[in-house]
Amino acid sequence: MTAENATLAQRSPNWRSWVEPWFLSYALLGASVAGLAPIILPLSVGRTGTLADIGLVMGAFNLGGLSAPLWGGIADRRHSHRSLLVLGLAAAGIALAAFPFVSALGERLVLAFVQGAGAACAATVANLFVVEIHPRSEWDERIGWLQTFYGGGQVVGLLLAGFVSGIDMYLGFLIASGITMIACLPGLSMKGTIVSAHPSRPTLAYPSRHAELNAGSPQSFYHHLNAKTLEHLVRSIVSPLGIFLVAWLISFGGVAAFFSLYPVLMKHQFGVDPSLSSIGFAVAATAGLFLYAPAGTWSRKFGPLPVFRAALAVRALAFLVLVVIGAFSFPLGGPLAVIGFAFVVLAWSLLSVTGTEITAQFSEAHEGEGLGLFNASTGVAGVLGAVIGGWVAGTWGYETVSVLGIGGAVIGILLTAAIKNFFGKPEEKEKR
């Protein structure tokens, strides 16, 4: 065996070499907070609350995800990854179990926030444990498999949501809570000696491979925002990076409004039962997992900015189709709406890959800060999109939520076109 072949053999062992038993905890977390919760939470609130209430609850759920740097800092200082993983799962599980038994908006907001914060705690320390216990050469493979478990769990959770949404909402929360609590058991197998701590939180320069739900996502869990980072953004706001981050914030916020209301909107505007809309979401999320590799290929071939704009165009067209279906009575309007939404989900794979690449290229020497701001803008957009989406739908009707999606995508296209016109293409800088 040549030296090159020996190196390849060392870098490409069997998948079992990258997977650890506690990865199952992460899969179960994906099933509960990224699969079941985004369906049963808005449906439950919608039974007794307004559309604005749904937006606020989903915004609180997403807001909990922004607590990730806190848990990362505690894990760094105390090396208590296993304890924090179990505590985060337990907190999310208890909050899920309690949610259907409260009716006051304030209580719902608190429980939704605890669900998001608990999920963020568990997801943060899970990803950081891989980073801090294994050498850098193994990060890609190990975290790639960890994300695969999360994405697979999300699909299973969406399918479960489709099953329970047509039966009993209390059963849905019971299952979500049970899954989260059971996830504590494999989490107890997390063990190892921390070989390298990263208090500056290194940002991994590749996207999280799962569907577009920022709560509980590992996407923003590697970088601590601080005053210095924000100061750098202010100085460079009129720059390719600054303009792109604004484009990302607006485009992601527009679609977050739709995601936050998804099952309720599909039911009342398009007549699609939550069981069918959940299954449609699961199928689209599964298909999207297979688009990450082609997205990388297309990005290298055509450049990340053109692919990014093409994905936003697909989204704008998909939302336009939803607007038309909602405005006219089509014989198969419901199934067509599910198909239209599927293209919204599929576009995420391209946006996630190219968005990460564009940010890294424009960040230059401040790549870690740039990716940290990129991830933070995703979380902030999720919170704002959910709150604004609920208010807009309650004030002007469900159809306006799809209009928000169109507006966000179109503004994103125009702003990134301004980057090309005034600053040149990021792929040209990479070639130089």
User: What are the structure tokens assigned to 350, written together?
Assistant: 């391209």
User: 22-26, 196-200, 293-297: lowest mean pLDDT where?
Assistant: 196-200
| Chain mean pLDDT for the chain | 83
- The CA distance from 44 to 58, in Å, is 11
% of the chain beyond a pLDDT of 70: 80
As a dihedral over the C-alpha atoms of residue 39, residue 318, residue 251, residue 149, rounded to 10 degrees, the angle is 50
pLDDT digits (tens, 9 = 90+) for 298-315: 988 999 999 999 999 999
pLDDT at 220: 53
Q: In 3D, which of 53, 123, 131 has the Cα closest to residue 92?
A: 123
The answer, yes or no, to whether residue 86 has pLDDT greater than 80, is yes
Q: Is the pLDDT of residue 90 over 60?
A: yes
- At 195, the pLDDT band (50, 70, 90 cuts) reads low
* Segments making up each domain of the chain, as ranges: 18-188, 225-432
| Domain 18-188 CATH superfamily | MFS general substrate transporter like domains (1.20.1250.20)
- Smallest CA-to-CA distance from 153 within 273, 274, 16, 282 is with 282
- pLDDT category at 270 given cuts 50, 70, 90 is very high
Domains 18-188 and 225-432 share a fold: yes
Model confidence over 323-354: pLDDT tens digits? 999 988 778 889 999 999 999 999 998 998 88
Into which CATH architecture does domain 225-432 fall? Up-down Bundle (1.20)
Question: DSSP characters for 326-360?
Answer: HHS--TTHHHHHHHHHHHHHHHHHHHHHHHHHHHH
